[in-house]
A = this chain, B = another copy of it.
Amino acid sequence: MSQQPSTPDPALSTLVGLAAYTELAAFGLLAARSVDAPDLAARQTLATAAGDALGRQERLLGLAVLPGPAGAASAMAPFDGALADFDARTAPSGWAEGLLKSVVGLGVAQDLCRELATGLADGAAGFAAAVGEPRTDDPATAVLADAASADGVLAARLALWGRRVVGEALGLVPVLLAAHPPLAALADRAREAADDGGASAQAWLVSRLTAEHTRRMDRLGLAA
């Protein structure tokens, strides 16, 4: 049911590729934490969360891409490997750190894509509908918040770990914008549309993402 505009914004397919790739990465991280979850309820919850990431990915790909794995792969190909450094620098110690990595990494990536989408000439509404609102009742967040609230030592460790993960995730933003000019152009237009001061598009983006991350850590009951 994708609606193909007659002259699609070329930045839309680039943004869809990035967003679809990050949802696929989120699927993998959440599925891995389902496989080694400490109990069956958490295993089921995280499997469902991984399935939700695939559902968002399917809706996103429907905005700009031919159906089937080949179309999906060609849209995502420009971003293949883009998360390898992030992944290598955030090797988790244990299940809860791995789950926090997926929640924070996916959260930053989704927020980035949402912000960039506000710079689209058209298709912004379709993109927002496909990716959905930030969920305050995200099931992976609930599983993690439960684990942290039951264990103060773990909560302190996770607070530190969250800073590490968000630092690495935010560090990807300039790399992505430099490597993909359509994304940099979206960032410029998004900052202009927001009309909130003289910062560079990149600095503006990072400050928006940081603020959203603070709210995310609050929902987890962790110090940002």
The interface size of chain A toward B, counting residues with CB under 8 Å, comes to 27
Chain B residues with CB under 8 A of A34? 27-28, 31
A44 and B28 contact, CB distance less than 8 A: no
Determine whether A220 belongs to the interface, using a CB cutoff of 8 Å to chain B: no
A47 interface residue per 8 A CB criterion: yes
A177 within 8 A of B: no
Q: Collect the chain B residues with CB atoms within 8 Å of residue A28's CB.
A: 31, 34-35, 47
| Number of copies of this chain that the complex holds | 2
Chain B residue nearest in CB terms to A70: B41
Flag if B31 contacts A50 (CB, 8 Å). Answer: yes
Give 13 A-B contacts (CB < 8 Å), ordered by A residue.
A24-B43, A24-B47, A27-B31, A28-B47, A31-B34, A31-B35, A40-B73, A40-B76, A40-B77, A41-B70, A44-B73, A48-B54, A48-B69
> Within 8 Å of chain B (Cβ to Cβ): is A32?
yes
| B residues in contact with A92, CB < 8 Å | none
